[in-house]
Amino acid sequence: MPDAAAIPPSAPRRPHVLAMHGVTWVDHWHWLRDQNDPATMEYLQAENAHTDAFLEPLKPLQEAIYDEIRGRIKEDDNTVPEKEGDFYYYVRYEEGGQYPIYCRKQGSEDGPETVLLDVNQLAEGHDYTRVGAFENSPDHRLVAYGVDFDGSEQFTIHVLDLETGETLPDTIPNTYYSLEWGNPPAADTLYYSVLDEHHRPVSIYRHTLGNDPADDELVYHEEDPRFFVGAGKSNSGRFIYIVAGGNNMAEWRFLDADDPNGVPSLIEPRHTDFEYDVVDHGDRFFIRHNGNNAKDFMLSTAPVTASGWNNWTEFMAHEPGRPLLGIDAYREHLVVACRHDGLPQVMVMRLGDEDVHYISGVEEDDFAMSPRGGREFDTNSLRFGFTSMKTPAAVYDYNMDTRERMLRKQQEIPSGYDGEHYETRRVWATARDGTPVPISLLMQSGTAIDGTAPLYLYGYGSYGLTMEANFSISALSLVNRGFIYAIAHIRGGMEMGWDWYENGKLLNKRNTFNDYIDCAEHLIAEGYSSAGRIAAVGGSAGGMLMGAVVNERPDLFGCVVAHVPFVDVLNTMLDDTLPLTTMEYNEWGNPNDAEYYHYMRTYSPYDNVRAQDYPPMFVTGGISDPRVTYWEPAKWVAKLRSLRTNDNPLLLKIHMDSGHAGASGRFERIREIAEEYAFVLSAFGMGDGSTSSP
């Protein structure tokens, strides 16, 4: 008899009737939302067993890919130290270690090392360990950090005494990512964010060391469920900022970091579709904002003592098509991250005479570059990163006065790497509405452009996030086997500016899916691949993209990989008890409004599964995921199994010890990638694992 695990599971139908806006429908797998129902866990375990059984024959290939990717990691590596006062802080890894070790040196980068926190030791006895915030106190005697042991993104704060090595009794549970120290004489205070019963960070509290956290002072509480709250310290160190952020809305407050009883002052009240962020410089704020119809943002200044809109003065005009993405202020310079023609730029302005220049010297036509805000305000040195799909990541220190740069670190590939054996291209597809859409490509030099190459097409296209053309040590394992690795910079991201984002959200969301399909068809027409030879890959909101495009054009794809996919769009957006629902009304729409409901119904992947052939599919989820609940991929796969008209591999893997980000250990994460790649290769008949490594 065949192994039971080799037989695909079948989730029973339990009709659940829903009705809204004149539409009645039956959700047969609604019951999978109940994690306490034994049948739910039995089904998930059966799916995991089926996936394991399918992948078992591919174990040799998985191990080969794992060894390749791990061989490209310098295991005993470290970050470039960041100077703060007399100390240099950095993170390093040890050979064989899964997790980072937080360290510092005093006096110089060559001084003796002090280990602050070894996460490998912290992780002992846990399947999942992630340190979120990690902040040293202004006097460098203490460190506060948040740790999550199950992937739920619910952190517990601990405080270390660096002189004694002891953990203080100040333990604060149920926190989110924000964690900041006050300044002397308030150097024994901590500001942190707290989650509500819906897993939303809605409150900022102030803790004084030695006090019972149950008695901590509430500094700010957010009543509007569309907003999350965070806290951070300004680059100058002068202020604690408290930010209420919604989708395309923001509201900032500030208080003196040295005041143990400080009360937040409002900068400018929130307005619909009005975003701004702030850095302080002396007696004024620099404010990046999209007011006055500055869609791609402009810069204004305002006095710290009178910071409302009526006192904002234009400092840098809006330039359509050159989105301003972020700002950092230093004693004598302002640094602006921006984009032009879809590529990143770093602008440096000398304050006083407003002399402007851009960091230059880039010789590639597709790359990623970004400033990295440091720990010091009184400096003329800017650190920035540079990489491309064929250039390992580099870190530079840049003198903003002399314009000289010094290479501080180049990513090492221990197993060997020669970029001359690879080629990158930036090509443009024409979407069906005539919009040019950029695509980044990586391939081996000399790859035949005759339609025979398999192609891995990654897409995201949501939240205004830019998918950069970064170097990937894992992608080489596909490219060395003849794949072309592609990133489709579709609408919904911010690659080409704010309009690019607006034209891929709300009632324009279908542009995101159309762009991806049109990119695939362009790559086929130009000979980069052929129909049925494309692996469609995306995660989270990119997983929704996968669900939408495979419903629309299953013929284009040889396989689909959807990680933690947001696919049950209507049911999720109708449930305002979920963490992200209300905050994301401005991204997807509020389905309580009939117009948005009917539009979302046209593309929601779960609601549009139909009786047709589907390509091989590999779907993942996380049991502790607070962003995309496990039941979205589970329900989707159950419905696909019920309705599809062929028997191609359909795999669901629910990680029982992690959340949205997958495995926490760096080597376990490589195993997850190796599993995915082995599936992709097997779908294309390349399961023998042969490579053509240059």
Could you give the residue numbers annotated as active site? 540, 625, 660
Helices marked H in 498-555: 498-502, 510-525, 541-552
Q: Phi and psi at residue 347, in whole multiples of 5°?
A: -100, 135
Cα–Cα distance for residue pair 461/483, rounded to 1 Å: 23
Q: Phi and psi at residue 262, in whole multiples of 5°?
A: -60, 140
- β-strand 534-539 against 455-459: which pairing, if any? parallel
Cα–Cα distance for residue pair 40/42, rounded to 1 Å: 5
Q: Phi and psi at residue 517, in whole multiples of 5°?
A: -60, -40
Instruction: Dig out the tokens for 34 from the structure.
Output: 């109940």
Handedness of CA 338, 341, 344, 348 (dihedral sign): negative
Q: Where are the extended beta strands (E) located within 493-637?
A: 534-539, 557-563, 617-622
For residues 670 and 66, is the Cβ–Cβ distance under 8 A? yes
Residues paired with 82 in a beta bridge: 89
Q: Which of 96, 88, 201 has its CA nearest to residue 580?
A: 201
DSSP label at residue 268: S
For residues 492 and 506, is the Cβ–Cβ distance under 8 A? no
Instruction: Give the number of other Cβ atoms within 10 Å of residue 49's Cβ.
Output: 15
3-state secondary structure of 484: strand
Q: Which of 424, 423, 450 has its CA nearest to residue 439?
A: 424
Please give the single-letter amino acid code of residue 6: A
> How large is the C-alpha radius of gyration of the chain?
25
Instruction: Give the number of other Cβ atoms within 10 Å of residue 57's Cβ.
Output: 11
Q: Which of 501, 126, 471, 164 has its CA nearest to residue 342?
A: 501
Residue 287 CB contacts under 8 Å (≥ 6 apart), including other chains: 267, 276, 277, 278, 299, 300, 301, 302, 312
Half-sphere exposure of 163 (CA within 13 A, CB side): 5
CA 184 to chain centre: 34
350-to-83, 279, 354, 358 alpha-carbon distances in Å: 22, 16, 5, 12
Cα–Cα distance for residue pair 201/228, rounded to 1 Å: 5
Half-sphere exposure of 5 (CA within 13 A, CB side): 13
Whose tokens are 């992937």? That residue is: 151
For residues 52 and 5, is the Cβ–Cβ distance under 8 A? yes
Measured distance between the N- and C-terminal CA atoms of the chain, rounded to whole angstroms:
45
Whose tokens are 């905050």? That residue is: 583
Instruction: Dig out the tokens for 179 from the structure.
Output: 């964690």
- Percentages helix, strand, coil for the chain (3-state, rounded to 5) are 20, 35, 45
For residues 516 and 470, is the Cβ–Cβ distance under 8 A? no
442-to-67, 87, 341, 390, 427 alpha-carbon distances in Å: 22, 40, 20, 7, 11
For residues 450 and 485, is the Cβ–Cβ distance under 8 A? no
Which long-range CB contacts under 8 A does 15-20 form with residues at least 24 apart? Answer: 20/574, 20/591, 20/597
